Amino acid sequence: MRLSRYFLPVLKENPSEAQIVSHRLMLRAGMIKQSSAGIYSWLPLGFKVLRKIEDIVHEEQQRAGHMPMLMPTIQSADLWHESGRYDAFGAEMLRIKDRHDREMLFTPTAEELITDIFRAHVGSYKDLPLTMYQIQWKFRDEIRPRFGVMRGREFYMKDGYNFDLTKEDALHAYNRHLVSYLRTYERMGLQAIPMRADSGAIGGDDTHEFLVLADTGESEVFYDSAVTDLTFGDRDIDYDDHAQCAAVMEEFTNLYARTDETHDAALFEQVPEDRRRIARGIEVGQIFYFGTKYSEALNAVVQGPDGKQSPVHMGSHGIGVSRLLGAIIEASHDDKGIIWPEGVTPFHCGIVNLKQGDEEADAACDALYASLTALGLEPLYDDRKERAGGKFATMDLIGLPWRITVGPRGLKNGVVELTSRRTGESIEMPPEDAVRKVADIYANL
Ligand code: ATP
Ligand code: MG
């Protein structure tokens, strides 16, 4: 993409309405525009990152054997009356009447609808286990929408639902989700720590939230600092293997890590004092096992191998896809702007032409652009007639992890400059080496 043709409405000034750095940087980098409280348009740059995050979520869900599908945002209230949640959900639910005066609502989550689909089509244990998920817009009429996309009213969420014959199978589904979430967040360059949490309005016994540590986080968390040493890495897990998933679950949840809702001061005392941490975190996902709560309420039963009918065991699992943009920026920025992890960056590499209009510099940039593109990479070429300082400031603000700077002086010696956004380190090298280096970095992700 050529920057001269791209829609990137960067702001020079700090927007006064933004209280935290991720919100400020998303507005300044022209990623989003608020349309009303807690509701945003996603401008091209923001939309690109949203898609990258969504792609990772899709890939990791399907790697774990979960099936993508899509349910409507507008639902009839009937099912919610049946489950008892129409009233229980309270003021956060956006209620709508259609022209026939029928009660409708904008989905805040979809346990009822998926259970209705399940009960219409599945009657036998032979069709289990089954896990389906969607990535779909949700609406919750938050009392205090704030921090940009972190606490919006309209937000993009992955919600997945597992159906199993037995509690044991459903707990495997729970563990499997935990494993796949660990991989998902790590691919985005994030450390998200599973913490024992409270099940709130969804209901149920077992639940973990995934938290990204950040001072601006809304949750207070208590943990053993040893949890931050755990990494999932590139382990090859067989998602159907109960024992393997249970082992990962055990490894990542046996150290003390809890949100304030489930915090137990006496247990926390048992953590060695120098490892006790009290901090803040951003919730980027949550997994639940809730047994037969919805299947009983909605009469979703299956016939077991013994011929007996019993309510199916269920869980639901969410990832805050749009919130993740804010969380990643909170975790990865400096005073010049965003620093995208390679896994989610909107463009793989920036190209800065120090002397637009100079025949050699223009030709070198065009050649770089063509080579990177031929390797399947997406460069953003700043081809505007602007001063170098302004070009660098824009690149730093929008946070592409790598930048190739091209100028007549370097070209005389046959070199361009490759700069890491994260370290600020620049190395001069021939253009083809810079292309190879960038390609290698992404090939090894
Ligand atoms: P919170 O406690 O932050 O209100 P929640 O526990 O009610 O969130 P879940 O029902 O667990 O939310 O939804 C799954 C995920 O969706 C959350 O982990 C979070 O990342 C994201 N999410 C929830 N509410 C919002 C919101 N208002 N704006 C953006 N993302 C949200
Ligand atoms: Mg939650």
pLDDT tens, 377-427? Answer: 999 999 999 999 999 999 999 999 999 999 999 999 999 999 999 999 999
- 45-52 mean pLDDT: 98
- 305-319 mean pLDDT: 97
Go through 343-382 and write b for each residue having 16 or more CB atoms within 10 A of its CB, e for each that does not.
Answer: bbbbbbbbbbbbbbebeebeebbeebbebbeeeebebbbb
pLDDT class of 185 with cuts at 50, 70, 90? very high
Whether 48 has a pLDDT exceeding 60, the answer reads yes
pLDDT class of 298 with cuts at 50, 70, 90? very high
- Asked if residue 285 has its Cβ within 6 Å of ligand 1, the reply is yes
Of 143, 190, 323, 324, the one to substitute when testing ligand 1's pocket (max ligand atoms within 8 A of C-beta) is 323
pLDDT class of 202 with cuts at 50, 70, 90? low
Query: If you measure from the C-alpha of residue 345 to the centroid of ligand 2, how many angstroms do you get, rounded to a whole number?
Result: 26
CA distances to 112, 117, 123, 171 from 300, in Å: 11, 9, 8, 18
pLDDT class of 205 with cuts at 50, 70, 90? low
- 21-39 mean pLDDT: 98
pLDDT at 44: 98
pLDDT class of 445 with cuts at 50, 70, 90? confident
Structural domains of the chain in order of their starting residue, each with its CATH number: 3-338 (3.30.930.10), 349-443 (3.40.50.800)
Q: How far apart are CA 350 and CA 396, in angstroms?
A: 10
pLDDT at 352: 98
Query: If you measure from the C-alpha of residue 203 to the centroid of ligand 1, how many angstroms do you get, rounded to a whole number?
Result: 15
Query: If you measure from the C-alpha of residue 235 to the centroid of ligand 1, how many angstroms do you get, rounded to a whole number?
Result: 28
Nearest-atom index, ligand 1, CA of 109: 10
- The model's pLDDT over 124-157, given as tens digits with 9 standing for 90+, comes to 999 999 999 999 999 999 999 999 999 999 999 9
Percent of all residues in the chain with a pLDDT value above 70, rounded to a whole number = 99
DSSP state of 84: T
- Asked if residue 155 has its Cβ within 6 Å of ligand 1, the reply is yes
- Asked if residue 323 has its Cβ within 6 Å of ligand 1, the reply is yes
- Asked if residue 320 has its Cβ within 6 Å of ligand 1, the reply is yes
Query: Are the beta carbons of 114 and 330 closer than 8 angstroms?
Result: no
Whether 111 has a pLDDT exceeding 80, the answer reads yes
Q: How far apart are CA 250 and CA 96, in angstroms?
A: 44
- Asked if residue 158 has its Cβ within 6 Å of ligand 1, the reply is no
Instruction: State if pTM tops 0.75.
Output: yes
Residue nearest to atom 29 of ligand 1 (CA): 151
pLDDT at 200: 66
Query: If you measure from the C-alpha of residue 268 to the centroid of ligand 1, how many angstroms do you get, rounded to a whole number?
Result: 26
pLDDT class of 204 with cuts at 50, 70, 90? low
pLDDT class of 199 with cuts at 50, 70, 90? confident
pLDDT class of 300 with cuts at 50, 70, 90? very high
Whether 201 has a pLDDT exceeding 60, the answer reads no
- The model's pLDDT over 422-433, given as tens digits with 9 standing for 90+, comes to 999 999 999 999
Whether 198 has a pLDDT exceeding 90, the answer reads no
Q: Is the CA virtual torsion 270, 271, 274, 276 positive or negative?
A: negative
Whether 203 has a pLDDT exceeding 60, the answer reads no
Please state, rounded to an integer, the average pLDDT across all residues of the chain: 96
Query: Are the beta carbons of 418 and 361 closer than 8 angstroms?
Result: no
Q: Which ligand is the nearest neighbour of the Cα of 219?
A: 1
Whether 257 has a pLDDT exceeding 80, the answer reads yes
Strands 349-353 and 402-406: parallel
